[in-house]
Amino acid sequence: MKIQGSNVIAAPVGEVWTALLDPQVLVATIPGCERLAATGEHAYDMTVTAGVAAIKGTYAGTCALADLVERESLTMRLSGAGAPGTVEASVAVTFAEVDGGTEVSYDADATVGGMVGGVGQRMLTSVSKRMAGEFFANVAAAIAAPAPAASAPVPTPSAPGAAQVFGAPVRASSPDDFLRGIAVGAGLVLLGVVAGSLVGRRR
């Protein structure tokens, strides 16, 4: 599955760049993210519980930012596995200074496996695009008020090695966002997507 798109955020490239690289921003913006553990520079293990409506699944996933070109581009590699299926995604993200802020463009290629892969791909693209739109609002908001919600790093034995673990703020299920739409989110979205494909048929 391939998804492309772009949005403009009313903030300078520098701030947007920094926000996306900040684990506290990540943990605060990935919906249902219960834990994010650093396993290396810009590499994290995460546990995410999310879905659409009451249709939820828990995914064990990883997120790694690579090929960093300061303020220009990066590649986000994501994977998630849970009872409903698996998700492997690679997202090329580019940043460009434009009038009124920063244009962030993404080009995602996601592979969805397992049960969801077999029955739920139909609506994925449209759902993810819609979520991408919402994400940028969140990032803009996060930049306006830098991740107040995220708790301070606390070392946790459960974390691999001496990794830093970032806990998510307790909150009601938040609106979907970019990470959800494109990353482990691709799987999470599928939960809803699958619901769609099944439910659409078997009202």
Partner 1 sequence: MTTKLMGQGVQRVEDQRFLRGQGRYVDDVAVDPATLHAAVLRSPHAHARIVDIDVDAVLDLEGVHAVWTHEDLTGPMAEPLPLLIPHPALTHGRTQYALARDEVNYAGEAVAFVVADDRYLAEDALDRIRVTYDVLAPVVGIDAARAADRLVHDDVPGNVGARMEQGTGDAQAAIAKAPHRLELDLTVERSACTPLEGRGTVARWDPDSNRMQVWTSTQSSTGVRAVVAVKLGLDLGQVDVITPDVGGGFGVKINHPWPEELLVPLAARTLGRTVKFTEDRREHFVSSAHERGQVQHIEVGFDDDGRLLGLDVEFWHDHGAYTPYGLIVPIITSTQLLGPYKPEVYRVVFESLYTNTVMVTPYRGAGRPQGCFAMERTMDAIAAYLGKDRAEVRATNFIQPDEFPYDQGLIFQDGRELEYDSGDYPASLEKIKALVGWDDFPAFQKEMAAVGRKVGIGLACYVEGTGVGPYEGAHVHIETTGKVKVATGLTTQGQGHATVFAQLVADELGVRFEDVEVVTGDTRRMPYAVGTFASRAAVMSGSAIHLAARRAKEKVLKIAADALEAAEEDLQIVDGVVSVKGSPGTALDLGTVSVLSNPLRYAFDEASKAATQFSVGDPGKPPVPEDEEPGLEGRDFYSPERATFASGMHAVIVETDPDTAEITILKYAVVHDCGRLINPMIVEGQIHGGVAQGVAGALYERMAYDENGQLQNASFMDFLMPYVTEVPDGIDIDHLETPSPLNPLGIKGAGEAGVIPSAAVFAAAIEDAERIPITAMPISPSELFHLRQEHTP
Partner 2 sequence: MSEELHDVRLRVNGASYDLRVPARRLLSDALRHDLGLTGTHVGCEHGVCGACTVLLDGAPVRACLMLAVSAQDQEVTTVEGLGNADGSLSNVQQGFAECHGLQCGFCTPGFLTTITAGLRDNPTPTHEECRDMIAGNLCRCTGYQNIVKAVERAAELGLETPEDGS
Partner 3 sequence: MKPAPFAYHRPETLEAALAALAADPHAKVLAGGQSLVPLLSMRLAQPSALVDINALPGLDGIEVDETGVRIGALARHAAVLASPEVRRVQPLVSLALGHVAHATIRNRGTTVGSLVHADAAAEMPVVLSLLGGSVRVASVRGQRDIAAAELVLGPLESSLAPDEIAVSAFFPALPAGAGVAFEEVARRHGDYALCGVAALAHGARVAAGYVSVGDVPTVVDLSGVPAGERGAAALAQLDPQADIHATAAYRAQLVRVLTERVVESAVSSARGES
Residue ranges in 141-180 that form contacts with partner 3 under rule CB under 8 A: 176
Distances in Å between the alpha carbon of 162 and those of 36, 149, 158? 13, 23, 9
Compute the residue count for the chain: 203
Closest approach of partner 1 to the CB of residue 131, in Å: 20
**Should residue 81 be labelled a site residue for partner 3 when binding is judged by CB under 8 A?**
no
Closest approach of partner 2 to the CB of residue 202, in Å: 5
Residue ranges in 114-133 that form contacts with partner 3 under rule CB under 8 A: 115-116, 119-123, 125-127, 130
Please identify which residue in 4, 160, 198, 200 interacts with partner 2, judged by CB under 8 A.
198
Q: b vs e for 138-166, b when ≥16 Cβ sit within 10 Å of the residue's Cβ?
A: bbbebbeeebebbeebeeeeebeeebbbb
Closest approach of partner 1 to the CB of residue 8, in Å: 31
Give CA 92 to chain center in angstroms. 13
Closest approach of partner 2 to the CB of residue 119, in Å: 8
Q: Which parts of 6-163 fold into alpha helices (H)?
A: 13-21, 23-29, 114-119, 124-144
Binding residues for partner 2, per CB under 8 A? 198, 201-202
